[in-house]
Every structure is written in C-alpha cells, then in structure tokens.
C-alpha cells in the first residue's frame, strides 16, 4: 500500500502543480519539450506553491522506504536484497529532492548543491533495482521480472534521449512516468499476492476447525 501511495501521490502532485503553476513556468521560460536551465519537475519547487511538491517529495520518499523495507523482509538471500536496497536508496534520494534548486541566473544556494548532487542517484538506483529484479528467479516472480525488464528498456531509451536538447524534457517526463508506473505495478502485485495468501490461509484455517472439533471427546 505504501508503494502505491508513493507513486500515486507524486504523479498527482506533478500533474496538478504543473497546471496550477503554468503561468510561473511560462515566465521562467520552461519548455515541456526541449531542455531548459532548470528541468521539470524540480522547477515546480520554485513556483508559488512549491512547498506542496517539497512535502510530496518527503512523504513519497518515506512511503517508498516503507515499501522497500517490506520487500527486504521477504528476501531470503543477499542477492534478493539488492532490489529492495536499490528501491530504498531511490526513495531516500527522492526525499532529498525537497531541497529546491536555483532559478535560472540566481545566486547558487546550498540547497541547489544538495539537489543536483543527489538527483543522479535516482536513475542509477532505479536501474540497479530493476536489473536485480530481472535477475530474481524465484518461483512466482515472473510478473516482476517482465515489468522490470520493460522498465529497463524504456529507461535506457528515455535517459539516452535526455542528451538530445531538442527533446530532453519529453524524455525526462517519459522516464519519470515509467518509473512511477513500474513502482505502482510492483506494489500492486505484492499487495495482491499478500492478500491472496492471507485469504487462502484463512480459508484453510476455517476448513480445519470442523475437523479439529470432531476429534474432541
């Protein structure tokens, strides 16, 4: 549930805040297609309602840490913990994005240094986590492997296109969309499997009760 909440919260805030602050984005010269001095969604933190995104980054990162901890608890070996560890590092980095970047041509602030230093951890940690999940050969992990492989393929294309200035912002948006969808899908699969196992356990326990009672004198 925490993984689903993290993805949904950030997706909604990104979209709604972009619409609310579209006047601010136009004034600072932001483009939804090409590369600009400060890229979306970080630029939204400098808008009139930037505090909303700062809070969303912190809360979303905390939800992500809870989700990664849940995945970690199910791992049975060091190799299986690489994926949850990557998601945990990714989530911590997302929380650090609450330190806002500089506006174009403004004096450099320490928050900008933190923001720009931590940001590269997000795509790297996401790719490491996805690669680890693709390599997870445990029974019943097929859907996670397929979704992670698809995310890897889309990410490599999107991140590669961010180096093309004419479409850099479109590529960044595609990467973030793929990342949030991937995390939401992983969380949904884990939640569904958990609820299914819990229901099967309850049904089995319910079926055993009459047998146990029949054996009583």
- pLDDT tens for the chain, 217 residues long, are 999 999 999 999 999 999 999 999 988 888 889 988 878 898 899 999 999 999 999 999 999 999 999 988 887 778 888 889 999 999 999 999 999 988 877 777 888 899 999 999 999 999 999 999 888 776 567 888 899 999 999 999 999 999 999 999 999 999 999 999 999 999 998 888 878 777 766 555 545 455 444 454 4
User: For position 185, what pLDDT does the model report?
Assistant: 94
The pTM for the full model equals: 0.84
Q: Encoding tokens for residue 41?
A: 């969604």
**CA 46, 39, 178, 116 torsion-angle sign:** negative
How far is residue 187's CA from residue 5's CA, in Å, rounded to a whole number?
Answer: 9
User: For position 213, what pLDDT does the model report?
Assistant: 44
DSSP state of 40: T
Q: Are 23 and 44 in contact (CB under 8 A)?
A: no
Closest by CA to 138, choosing from 69, 77, 66, 198, is 77
Distances in whole angstroms, Cα of residue 107 to Cα of each of 101, 104, 112: 11, 9, 10
User: For position 140, what pLDDT does the model report?
Assistant: 63
How far is residue 189's CA from residue 174's CA, in Å, rounded to a whole number?
Answer: 22
How far is residue 7's CA from residue 111's CA, in Å, rounded to a whole number?
Answer: 24
Closest by CA to 41, choosing from 104, 125, 98, 126, is 98
User: For position 201, what pLDDT does the model report?
Assistant: 63
Residue 78, helix vs strand vs coil: coil
Q: Are 116 and 101 in contact (CB under 8 A)?
A: yes
User: For position 76, what pLDDT does the model report?
Assistant: 77
């Amino acid at each position: 549930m925490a993984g689903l909440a993290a993805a949904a919260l950030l997706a909604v805030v990104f979209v709604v805040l972009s619409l609310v602050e579209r006047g601010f984005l136009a004034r600072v010269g932001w483009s939804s297609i090409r590369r600009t001095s400060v890229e979306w969604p970080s630029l939204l933190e400098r808008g009139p309602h930037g505090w909303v995104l700062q809070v969303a980054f912190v809360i979303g990162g905390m939800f992500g840490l809870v989700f990664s901890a849940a995945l970690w608890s199910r791992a049975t070996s060091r190799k299986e913990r690489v994926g949850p560890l990557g998601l945990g590092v990714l989530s911590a980095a997302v929380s650090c994005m609450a330190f806002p970047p500089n506006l174009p041509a403004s004096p450099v602030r320490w928050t900008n240094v933190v923001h720009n230093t931590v940001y590269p951890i997000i795509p790297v940690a996401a790719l490491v986590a996805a690669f680890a999940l693709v390599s997870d050969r445990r029974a019943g992990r097929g859907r996670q492997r397929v979704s992670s492989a698809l995310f890897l393929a889309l990410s490599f294309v999107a991140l590669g296109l961010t180096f093309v200035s004419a479409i850099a912002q479109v590529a960044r948006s595609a990467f973030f969309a793929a990342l949030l969808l991937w995390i939401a899908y992983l969380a949904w699969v884990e939640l569904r499997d958990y609820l299914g196992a819990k229901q099967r356990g309850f049904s089995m326990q319910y079926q055993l009760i009459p047998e146990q009672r029949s054996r009583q004198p």
